């Protein structure tokens, strides 16, 4: 029983940052932006989140800084891809590498360390115990006692789904991706919608970043996003941006990650660490086989 | 042509200006810092070293350039480089031939390693139509862990404190004369071959055509999927070659993090070079100047060398954005001139 609870909690923990970043990617996906900068935004968020929490000894300010940091990265993306009309792919790669470089540089410059910075003065984001529910055996251990960000992620999934499909902004967002000219001619600037989708993406990836550096560990290490942004991109592509689908896929990836940890008893850790990436490949494989079947029918 | 050079130079200068502002804000002297940077990498005794350090950058850069110019979005250089390095190391651990045979043999192994890894992505695309853009990225992570496992278990050097392999056979070490490493010769040869293939052969013409307009070239009778496979294998081999040379010219063994940031730098170089082969060589050398010089900069002026990583990304963003911006700017000028001519 404990193993299963551990597996499920592990799944939730590793799914959270992927899901948050993928929700951000979903918004830009609907707006028709080939946004591959989630990795860099998340890393920026993780760094600034740690910075805010360290200097102000407060996790809410940490989260705020994380969001602002990721928005800063999003603004750079906006400057190059939307304002200067540079290729989105090149902007994304450039921004990701800029983010790695800038956070490494600041880590060195501000904290005088290389590799990683950890300090007891970094205040983590708390876990939330839900009264009543926490006393229920098994279910209570899963539903209650998760990190605050986990619950926020759940809310964000519903909110993004509502935003995209039920609001005027969502309609315009999808129009911007579907046919931007007709949106422009109807009097709504497609570029403005794109800018907003990128800023919202910054908010969500910033939350993801804060979860990385202030969630279960309180430290920042170079390149700590470790490909999660790319996995979230794969998730977005796999379900064509649908938020509910993204949530399911992210949980699946989270599950394989937890499974990897579990398998460490019998396999070298290098192989178990590969699991999420292999799972992404398998998911892409299933997706393309299904697509092929659909096309032949 | 002149305009192109101008755009690149102006972009680089703008990026340097931005870097200078960052330094000023933090209380460093930008002029001295830049002087130390270039002094350290371009002084007469140092230039051979800088040239040797540019080898992996140029090779991975060419790998990305050829791929991007021909269509495939091969972002798997980091993984391909590691697999090439691993295979060359394994060859060097178990086989010993006279140097004249050994070096080409290990280089072939390195290229094979890289091509195998890019071949996986190519076949996934070929059979199942899986986008190489994501699969190569995932394969990078897998190669990272796989090679780390390989140097931890099967090829681990007994009694070592760090995960690493023993030295490869002496005959597989790239000869060195002073600061000049003979891997530069391999790089120049590879550059000549790639330049010739891309610019002077039918295959290269077809690749470039497919890169610009895949539908048009297919209708013109180009075998798209065959070209795709060949380009993927070739670019993987180039990245693998870079990995083999890193081992054979550098530590002569596979150590942890041997790939460093070479491959991603190579991708940046290809982008800033607009996938041009000659510009890739130029920017590859330039990035090597920055990276080599950054060590001297840190030693003398206390500006952390990580700043160069930021500067590289800024150079890429500004040069590429500037290129597009200038092109529309010049097109506008041209249009205005023609308008005036017509009115007059």
pLDDT tens string B193-209: 999 999 999 999 999 99
Q: Which of A14-23, B54-63, B180-189, B251-260 is predicted least confidently?
A: B251-260
Does residue B220 lie within any of the structural domains? yes
pLDDT of residue B329: 82
Residue ranges making up the domain that contains B134:
54-262
B271 to chain A, any CB pair closer than 8 A? The answer is yes
CB spacing of A227 vs B153 below 8 angstroms: no
pLDDT of residue B46: 87
Does residue B133 lie within any of the structural domains? yes
Q: Is the pLDDT of residue A153 over 80?
A: yes
Per-residue confidence band for B328, with pLDDT thresholds at 50, 70 and 90: confident
Does residue B121 lie within any of the structural domains? yes
On chain B, the residues whose CB falls within 8 A of the CB of A80 are: 317, 321
On chain B, the residues whose CB falls within 8 A of the CB of A95 are: 313, 317
Rounded mean pLDDT of A196-200? 96
Q: Is the pLDDT of residue A8 over 90?
A: no
Rounded mean pLDDT of B100-117? 96
CB spacing of A95 vs B313 below 8 angstroms: yes
B156 to chain A, any CB pair closer than 8 A? The answer is no
Average pLDDT value over all residues in chain B: 91
Does residue B179 lie within any of the structural domains? yes
CB spacing of B304 vs A108 below 8 angstroms: yes
Please tell me the distance from the alpha carbon of residue B52 to that of residue B55, in angstroms, as a whole number. Answer: 6
B146 to chain A, any CB pair closer than 8 A? The answer is yes
Q: Kindly state the DSSP code that residue B181 receives in the 8-state scheme.
A: E
Name the residue of chain A whose CA is nearest to B142's CA: A274
Q: Which of B135, B145, B304 sits opposite A281 (nearest CB)?
A: B135
Does residue B327 lie within any of the structural domains? no
Does residue B168 lie within any of the structural domains? yes
Please tell me the distance from the alpha carbon of residue A95 to that of residue A83, in angstroms, as a whole number. Answer: 15
For CA atoms A106, A112, A118, A119, the dihedral sign is negative
CB A241 within 8 A of CB A186: no
Q: Which of A62-76, B44-58, B70-84, B153-167 is predicted least confidently?
A: B153-167
Q: Is the pLDDT of residue B228 over 90?
A: yes
Please tell me the distance from the alpha carbon of residue A59 to that of residue A54, in angstroms, as a whole number. Answer: 9
Question: What are A33's two structure tokens?
Answer: 């932006």
Rounded mean pLDDT of A181-197? 91
What are the C-alpha distances in Å from B213 to residues A184, B1, B111, B219?
A: 28, 23, 29, 10
Question: What are A211's two structure tokens?
Answer: 């979860």
pLDDT, tens digit, 9 for 90 and up, residues B247-292: 999 899 999 888 888 999 999 999 999 999 999 999 999 999 999 9
pLDDT of residue B260: 84
Q: Is the pLDDT of residue B11 over 90?
A: no
Which residue, among B262, B297, B252, B328, has the nearest Cα to B61 in the 3D structure?
B262
Mutate to test the interface with B, among A79, A270, A286 (most CBs of B within 10 A): A270
pLDDT, tens digit, 9 for 90 and up, residues B35-85: 999 988 998 888 999 999 999 999 999 999 999 999 999 999 999 999 999
Domains held by chain B: number: 1
Does residue B175 lie within any of the structural domains? yes
Residues 6+ apart with CB under 8 A from B46: B40, B179, B292
CB spacing of A94 vs B146 below 8 angstroms: no
Which of the two residues, B244 and B8, has the higher pLDDT score?
B244
Q: Is B35 exposed, middle or buried (0-12, 13-18, 19+ CB in 10 A)?
A: middle
Architecture in CATH of A2-296: Orthogonal Bundle (1.10)
CB spacing of A90 vs B271 below 8 angstroms: yes
Q: Is the pLDDT of residue B344 over 80?
A: no
The three-state secondary structure class of A32 is coil
Q: Any bridge partners for residue B176, and if so which?
A: B181
Mutate to test the interface with A, among B72, B297, B321 (most CBs of A within 10 A): B321
Q: Is the pLDDT of residue A294 over 90?
A: no
pLDDT of residue A297: 64
Beta strands in chain A (DSSP E): 116-118, 127-128, 146-147, 219-221
pLDDT, tens digit, 9 for 90 and up, residues A78-117: 999 999 888 899 999 999 999 999 999 999 988 888 888 9
Q: Which of A66-75, A84-93, A154-163, A203-212 is predicted least confidently?
A: A84-93
Q: Is the pLDDT of residue A139 over 80?
A: no
Percent of chain B with pLDDT over 90: 63
Which residue, among B259, B257, B255, has the nearest Cα to B160 in the 3D structure?
B255
Interface of B with A in 30-69 (CB under 8 A): none
pLDDT of residue A211: 94
CB spacing of B142 vs A233 below 8 angstroms: no
Q: Is the pLDDT of residue A21 over 70?
A: yes
Name the residue of chain B whose CA is nearest to A284's CA: B130
Q: Which of B7-11, B50-54, B94-98 is predicted least confidently?
A: B7-11
CA dihedral B180, B184, B188, B189 (to 10 degrees): 120
Please tell me the distance from the alpha carbon of residue B61 to that of residue B74, in angstroms, as a whole number. Answer: 11
pLDDT of residue B138: 92
pLDDT of residue A260: 79
Does residue B32 lie within any of the structural domains? no
Name the residue of chain B whose CA is nearest to A96's CA: B313
């Amino acid at each position: 029983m404990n193993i299963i609870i551990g597996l499920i909690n592990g799944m939730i923990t590793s799914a959270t940052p992927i899901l948050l970043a993928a929700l951000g990617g979903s918004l830009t996906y609907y707006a028709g932006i080939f946004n591959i900068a989630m990795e860099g935004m998340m890393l920026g968020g993780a760094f600034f989140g740690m910075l805010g929490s360290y200097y102000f000894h407060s996790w809410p300010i940490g989260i705020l800084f994380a969001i602002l940091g990721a928005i800063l990265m999003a603004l750079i993306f906006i400057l190059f891809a939307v304002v200067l009309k540079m290729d989105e792919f090149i902007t994304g790669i450039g921004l990701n590498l800029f983010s790695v470089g800038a956070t490494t540089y600041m880590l060195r410059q501000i904290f005088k360390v290389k590799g990683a910075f950890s300090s007891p003065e970094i205040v983590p984001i708390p876990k939330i115990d839900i009264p009543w529910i926490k006393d229920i055996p098994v279910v209570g251990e899963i539903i209650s006692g998760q990190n605050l960000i986990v619950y926020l992620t759940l809310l964000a999934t519903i909110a993004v789904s509502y935003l995209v499909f039920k609001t005027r902004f969502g309609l315009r967002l999808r129009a911007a991706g579907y046919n931007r000219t007709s949106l422009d001619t109807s009097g709504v600037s497609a570029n403005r919608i794109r800018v907003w989708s990128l800023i919202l993406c910054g908010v969500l990836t910033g939350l993801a970043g804060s979860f990385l550096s202030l969630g279960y560990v309180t430290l920042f290490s170079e390149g700590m996003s470790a490909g999660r942004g790319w996995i979230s991109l794969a998730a977005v592509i796999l379900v064509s941006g649908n938020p509910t689908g993204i949530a399911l896929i992210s949980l699946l990836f989270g599950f394989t990650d937890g499974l990897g940890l579990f398998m460490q008893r019998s396999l070298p850790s290098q192989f178990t660490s590969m699991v999420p990436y292999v799972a992404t490949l398998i998911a892409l494989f299933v997706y393309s086989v299904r697509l092929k079947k659909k096309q032949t029918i | 042509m002149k305009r192109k050079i101008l755009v690149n130079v102006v972009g680089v200068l703008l990026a340097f200006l931005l870097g200078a502002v960052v330094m000023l804000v933090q209380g460093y002297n930008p002029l001295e810092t830049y002087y130390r940077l270039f002094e350290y990498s371009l002084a007469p005794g140092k230039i051979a070293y800088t040239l040797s350090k540019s080898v992996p950058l140029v090779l991975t850069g060419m790998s990305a350039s050829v791929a991007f110019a021909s269509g495939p979005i091969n972002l798997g250089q980091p993984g391909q480089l590691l697999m090439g390095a691993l295979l060359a190391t394994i060859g060097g651990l178990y086989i010993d031939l006279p140097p004249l045979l050994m070096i080409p043999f290990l280089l072939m192994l390195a290229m094979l390693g890289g091509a195998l890894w890019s071949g996986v992505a190519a076949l996934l695309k070929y059979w199942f139509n899986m986008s190489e853009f994501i699969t190569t990225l995932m394969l990078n992570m897998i190669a990272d862990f796989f090679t780390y496992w390989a140097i931890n278990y099967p090829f681990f050097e007994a009694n070592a404190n760090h995960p690493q392999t023993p030295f490869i056979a002496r005959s597989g070490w790239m000869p060195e004369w002073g600061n000049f490493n003979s891997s530069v010769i391999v790089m120049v040869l590879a550059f000549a071959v790639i330049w010739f293939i891309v610019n002077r052969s039918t295959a290269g013409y077809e690749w470039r055509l497919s890169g610009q307009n895949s539908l048009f070239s297919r209708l013109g009778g180009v075998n798209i999927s065959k070209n795709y496979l060949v380009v993927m294998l070739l670019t993987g081999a180039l990245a693998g070659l870079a990995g083999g040379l890193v081992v054979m010219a550098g530590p002569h063994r596979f150590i942890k993090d041997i790939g460093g940031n070479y491959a991603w730098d190579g991708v940046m170089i290809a982008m800033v070079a607009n996938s041009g082969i000659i510009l890739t060589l130029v920017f590859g050398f330039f990035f090597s100047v920055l990276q080599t010089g950054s060590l001297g900069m840190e030693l003398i002026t206390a500006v952390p060398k990580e700043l160069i990583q930021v500067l590289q990304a800024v150079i890429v963003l500004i040069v590429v954005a500037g290129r597009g911006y200038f092109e529309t700017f010049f097109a506008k000028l041209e249009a205005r001139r023609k308008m005036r001519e017509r009115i007059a």
